[in-house]
Structure 1
Amino acid sequence: MRNLLFILLLSFGLTGFSQELNCSVVVNAQQTGNENLSIFKTLEKQLTEFVNNTKWTNRTFAPQERINCSMVITINDYSGESFQGTIQVQSSRPVYGSSYSTPLYNFNDKDLAFRYLEFQNLNFSANQFQSNLISILSFHVYMVLALDADSFSKNGGDIYYKQAQIIANYSQQQNYKGWKLEDGLQSRFALIDNVLSPTFKEFRDVMYSYHREGLDVMSDNAKQGKETIATSLKQFEAMNSRRPNSFLLRTFFDAKADEIEQIFSDGPNVNIASVKETLQKVAPTYASKWRNIKF
């Protein structure tokens, strides 16, 4: 669908679009007590321009194809050029035949630490560390791109996951948390390591079947779409049996729990008993939502 749109735009002489993201960036410094300082406004403006104007891929995106996402940076503390806080990254993509956008990525990165001098240049290098701020934002950009691509074509996000891994690898050489094995089970390292590990191979299969073969067909055949989504979620049982309550499963359901509850609480009837049994097994932290499925 995206390739077809691109060809049509070319036929009308519209060329030159390159930016991949339509990203809202917010810097919240209320917890510092100095949220009105110009440096925070400058940082927000520079990061917005950096994320939206950097050419992240070798593809050409028309405006209608740009991926909607958001980054909310909360500054908890700062001293001079040193800043600490968190970053919440979310992304979505449109569902075929509807006005609905489905969430793909919802990650709360608690290891945000960086140095920043007001008005400093922000430049991305695919193979070389520039700063921890650039590495963190770039890592999440490639995760957004990868998950979006995986939702449209099977294993379509390969090249973007590999770039996220390259960023993680060269950033390990610096003294910042989130890039190494010893930084815990909910770090950037853990996220990209899990996505690319055979232990969690079903995750990417589900990303494709849930979205492209499930959600995207619901406008034409709602029952078939719901049944495909139910079948795709069942694939998580094998993954969960190898690594119960894994970080990767929690990341998926952090983004999708509300949507799944709504899908199976309305529309054509499917076997919700089987769906609820699967959901209770693979995502018990959202048990209250699964109990609400009574349609």
Structure 2
Amino acid sequence: MYKWLVAVLFMFGSVANAQELNCTVKINYDRVTDANTQIFKTLERALTDFVNNTRWTSRNFETNERIECSMIINVSGYDAPGFTATLQVQSSRPVYNSTYSSPIFNFNDKDFNFRYNEGDNLIYNPNSVDSNNLVGVIGFYANIIIGLDADSFQKGGGTEYYKAAQNLASLGAGSGYKGWGQQEGTNQNRYFLVNDLLSNTFTPFRDTLYEYHFLALDKMADDHKKAKEEVIASLKTLAKVQSVRPNAFLTRVFFDAKSDEIVSMFSGGPTVTLTELLENLNKLSPTNGSKWSQIR
């Protein structure tokens, strides 16, 4: 236990030489047939450098602590300098004493329209959303990724990063671009994502991230059966959200990242009682019922 505590303190307190993210950026432009493809390749390189070389927080990271993530931009339209696109954001987190990385975030932003000219400087300002909407959206998700990762190591650890994302969302609401606003006919955009993360109503979601990862997965190598039981307990915590907000946005966000992992985890290894687990899973995420039926 002492060694593990030292490892955690080292993780959060050591002097670092690296930025926070190790991000793969990919631009898919197959649907655009009447443009010079060089602009997409240039944008991909520029965003890769921007995301991985920007210092997003004041927290210290070692090189091996950088958060693994990806941002895939699917471009459906291009009229220079305007891009019509969606953005798939994914991140994962290493499990202690293993080679396995656990998915934490898997989100598709359907309203990622922006402008970009070859040679534009991409500079992050935490107190500004650029008029092109590119840096602002990427900065928003960088902070969300870091916040979710922090929540998985320390209860409530992601608050300051969510607040940074919330500030960007507030600034973006006046930009004229979709995805930032409260009154857009959807409750599943950037505005609701970060406001829900900071709402006391959804504290059980954030507690679940900590319990599921730090109290369960990180102990899997020591006691596989007990760790699986802790996963079941963490999903009971998530069920507290269901009791006050059925079919909540954040509940969907959780299972978009975790459904396959949960099926895999409970489809082998030491046997545990599954009755309560299956009851909660079917209540929390009925749309994944076909997956839950694979758990035996």
Q: TM-score with structure 2 length normalisation?
A: 0.94
How many angstroms does 1:59 deviate by?
2.0
CA offset at residue 186 of structure 1? 1.2
Q: CA deviation at 1:67?
A: 0.5
CA distance in 2, matches of 1:146, 1:199: 18
Change in Cα spacing, 1:255 to 1:62, as seen in structure 2 (3 Å) is same
Q: 1:4 aligns with which of 10, 13, 22?
A: 10
- Shift in Å at residue 205 of structure 1? 0.4
Q: Which amino acid in 2 is paired with 1:172?
A: A
Structure 1 equivalent of residue 4 of structure 2: none
After superposition, residues 209-248 of structure 1 pair within 5 angstroms as 209-248=211-250
| Secondary structure, aligned partner of 1:281 | helix
- Confirm whether residue 137 of structure 1 aligns to residue 143 of structure 2: no
* Higher mean C-alpha displacement, 282-291 vs 194-203: 194-203
Measure how far apart 1:273 and its partner are. 1.2
Per the TM alignment, residue 35 of structure 1 is displaced from its structure 2 partner at its CA by 6.9
Identity of aligned residues (%): 47
Find the aligned partners of 1:235 and 1:59 in 2 and give their Cα distance. 29
CA contact (8 A) 2:85 2:112 kept: yes
Contact 1:29 1:35 in 2 (8 A): no
Equivalence for 1:199: 201
Q: How does 1:1-295 map to 2 (within 5 A)?
A: 1-4=7-10, 17-34=17-34, 37-130=37-130, 131-183=132-184, 184-294=186-296
Q: Is the 8 A contact 2:128 2:136 kept in 1?
A: no
Distance 1:264 1:190 in 2: 32
Given that residues 28 and 35 in structure 1 are in contact (C-alpha distance below 8 angstroms), is that contact kept between their aligned partners in structure 2? no
CA separation in 2, counterparts of 1:35 and 1:216?
Answer: 48
Instruction: After TM superposition, give the deviation of residue 18 of structure 1 in Å.
Output: 3.1
For the Cα contact (< 8 Å) 1:109–1:187, is it kept in 2?
A: yes
Letter in 2 for 1:140: Y
Equivalent pair of 2:159/2:198 in contact (CA under 8 Å)? no
Distance 1:274 1:20 in 2: 38
Q: Partner amino acid for 1:283?
A: S
8 Å contact kept, 2:16–2:63: no
Greater Cα shift, 239-248 or 15-24? 15-24
Report the Cα distance in structure 1 between the residues aligned to 2:233 and 2:293, rounded to whole angstroms.
19
For these two proteins, the number of residue pairs brought into alignment is 288
Q: Which runs of 5+ in 1 are unaligned?
A: none
C-alpha distance in 1, partners of 2:35/2:270? 49
The CA RMSD over aligned residues, in Å, is 1.4
Alpha-carbon separation, structure 2, partners of 1:71 and 1:220? 34
For residues 160-205 of structure 1, the C-alpha deviation after alignment (integer angstroms, 9 at most, x for no partner) is 0100100101111110111111121110111111111122121000
Question: TM-score when scaled to structure 1?
Answer: 0.94
| Corresponding letter in the other structure for 1:175 | G
2-structure distance, mates of 1:117, 1:273: 56
* Uncovered stretches (5+) of structure 2, i.e. residues with no partner: 1-6
Q: CA deviation at 1:109?
A: 0.3
Following the alignment from structure 1 to structure 2, what is the Cα–Cα distance between the partners of residues 103 and 169? 28
Shift of 1:3: 3.8
Q: Quick one: distance in 2 between partners of 1:3 and 1:42?
A: 40
Q: Which moved further from structure 2: 30-39 or 85-94?
A: 30-39
Q: Give me the whole-angstrom Cα distance separating, in 1, the residues matched to 2:18 and 2:100.
A: 25
Q: Aligned with 1:201: secondary structure? A: helix
Distance 1:132 1:96, change over 3 A: same
**3-state DSSP of counterpart to 1:104:** strand
Shift of 1:246: 1.3
Instruction: Tell me by how many angstroms 1:129 deviates.
Output: 2.0
Residues in 2 aligned to 1:193 and 1:5: alpha-carbon distance in whole angstroms: 28
Bigger mean CA offset, 125-134 vs 65-74: 125-134
Which residue identity does 1:274 align to in structure 2?
E
Query: Equivalents in 2 of 1:105, 1:6: separation in Å?
Result: 21
**Contact 2:193 2:250 survives alignment (8 Å):** yes
Measured in 2, the distance between the counterparts of 1:87 and 1:51 equals: 14
Match of 2:136, SS state, is helix
